[in-house]
């Protein structure tokens, strides 16, 4: 049996929209992107959503917004040590310095008891990551942020459909950044989106994604139907507003073909979310029999985990390693992924920051001992049973 990590569903509606855009010759960011933004904002429950080209860009542009609100190059953003490297990369790309805090190895999320000690006069924001779709402790994060006058940007890349104490993840901080990569519930193949309730933030986001242009209208008439734009030559000196650059920006627009795929996914979001959550909860229950050797995250009564993947962590002191378990599962046809790493001490790209092994023991432990597999909509109880039987066979031999 093959159990792939992920799948992608491109609906008939998406194909129709793609063909219509191709036939019309209008494939750059336009009507479909705006429709996708409005529907995504409505789904999450925010006033605004700004689509960009990747989830990493979503993180980076959300942070870059802060330069318009008092932040300076080199200021600091507190992030968990454990995450996909996109989190740390985005902080650097936005012109900030990542300040890492260790995680709670039970939740995989930032250990909020460590945040205050990381705050300095240069700290501007906290970026909690809802890793594996499990919500971070947002009450603690928001309380600290309020007390120290910091912004909060939620890295919700993997948290589609996650809820925390009755609130949708992505509605709690000042902004939230989602990945729309092919592995996620809502995908545009390669894409990202930032949600916020602040129109001043969304205006800056629209400028940032297009090189920092002064153009930041919610809907661009030039991109919709090549109509007349009364703002185009209204700037001082009658300069074309499309060539007035107000800030250092990025090239990070979503195109119409990607938005078409996303619109199709929004139509089936509820069904996919339900199936993936059913798979996740089934795996969590079946996995309990391995608790002497392996553990996973738990879902607390006050939350709903956004079902991105199923994490497994090899307990300390076991007679086998994560890599040995991975090798056994891969040979059995089960596609696996490492459970990321401690960015500052296990990812070579961050060596220049000067951190040393041992500074983030819990993140480093997960980096050595964690893996995850898919819970996607194209697997069911048969595949889940096969996964559990494969793990049991491995443990029978190894322990």
pLDDT over threshold 90, residue 29? no
> When comparing pLDDT for 237 and 27, which is higher?
27
SS3 396: helix
The CATH architecture one would assign to domain 12-267 is 3-Layer(aba) Sandwich (3.40)
Confidence at residue 97, expressed as pLDDT on a 0 to 100 scale: 98
Confidence at residue 34, expressed as pLDDT on a 0 to 100 scale: 96
Q: What torsion, rounded to 10 degrees, do the Cα atoms 263, 265, 269, 273 define?
A: -150
Closest CA to 169 of 190, 181, 146, 153: 153
Report helix angle 381-398 to 322-331, nearest 10. Answer: 130
Distance CA(18)–CA(38), nearest Å, equals: 19
Confidence at residue 160, expressed as pLDDT on a 0 to 100 scale: 98
**Could you tell me the pLDDT band of residue 218, with boundaries at 50, 70 and 90?**
confident
Confidence at residue 247, expressed as pLDDT on a 0 to 100 scale: 93
Mean pLDDT check: name the lowest of 49-53, 59-63, 239-243, 297-301.
239-243
Q: Which is it for strands 82-83 and 97-101: parallel, antiparallel or unpaired? A: unpaired
Indicate left, alpha or beta for 7 from its phi (over 0: left) and psi (-120 to 50: alpha).
beta
SS3 187: coil
- Range(s) within the chain of domains with CATH label 3.40.640.10: 12-267
User: CATH for 270-398?
Assistant: 3.90.1150.10
- Range(s) within the chain of domains with CATH label 3.90.1150.10: 270-398
**Rounded average pLDDT over 165-194:** 97
Confidence at residue 356, expressed as pLDDT on a 0 to 100 scale: 97
- In tens, the pLDDT along 186-214 reads 999 999 999 999 999 999 999 999 999 88
C-beta separation of 306 from 43 below 8 A:
no
How far is it between the farthest Cα atoms of the chain?
Answer: 78
């Amino acid at each position: 049996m093959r159990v792939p990590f992920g799948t992608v569903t491109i609906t008939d509606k998406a194909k129709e929209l793609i063909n219509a855009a191709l036939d019309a010759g209008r494939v750059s960011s336009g009507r479909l992107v705006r429709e996708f933004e409005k529907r995504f904002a409505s789904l999450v429950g925010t006033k605004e959503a700004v689509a960009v080209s990747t989830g990493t860009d979503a993180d980076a542009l959300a942070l870059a917004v802060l330069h318009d609100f008092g932040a300076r190059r080199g200021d600091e953003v507190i992030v968990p040590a454990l995450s996909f490297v996109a989190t740390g990369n985005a902080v650097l790309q936005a012109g900030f310095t990542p300040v890492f805090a260790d995680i709670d190895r039970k939740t995989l999320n930032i250990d909020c008891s460590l945040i205050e000690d990381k705050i300095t006069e240069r700290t501007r924001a906290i970026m909690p990551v809802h890793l594996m779709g499990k919500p971070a402790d947002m009450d603690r994060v928001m309380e600290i942020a309020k007390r120290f006058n910091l912004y909060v940007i939620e890295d919700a890349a993997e948290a589609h459909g996650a809820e925390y104490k009755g609130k949708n993840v992505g509605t709690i901080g000042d902004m939230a950044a989602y990945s729309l990569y092919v592995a996620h519930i809502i995908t545009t193949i390669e894409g990202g989106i930032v949600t916020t309730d602040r129109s001043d933030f969304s205006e800056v986001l629209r400028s940032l994604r297009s090189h920092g242009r002064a153009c930041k209208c919610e809907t661009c008439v030039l991109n919709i139907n090549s109509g007349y734009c009364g703002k185009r030559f209204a700037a001082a000196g009658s300069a074309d507003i499309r060539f007035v650059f107000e800030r250092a920006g990025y090239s990070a627009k979503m195109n119409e073909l990607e938005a078409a795929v996303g619109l199709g996914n929004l139509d089936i979001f509820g069904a996919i979310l339900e199936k993936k959550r059913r798979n996740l909860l089934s795996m969590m229950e079946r996995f309990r029999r391995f608790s002497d050797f392996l553990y996973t995250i738990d879902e607390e009564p006050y939350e709903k985990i956004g079902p991105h993947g199923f994490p497994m962590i090899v307990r300390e002191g076991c007679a086998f390693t994560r890599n040995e378990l991975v090798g056994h599962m891969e040979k059995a046809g089960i596609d696996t992924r490492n459970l990321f790493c401690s960015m500052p001490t296990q990812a070579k790209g961050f060596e220049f920051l000067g951190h040393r092994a041992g500074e983030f023991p819990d993140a480093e432990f997960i980096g050595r001992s964690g893996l995850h597999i898919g819970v996607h909509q194209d697997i069911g109880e048969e595949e889940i049973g096969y996964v559990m039987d494969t793990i049991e066979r491995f443990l029978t031999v190894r322990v």
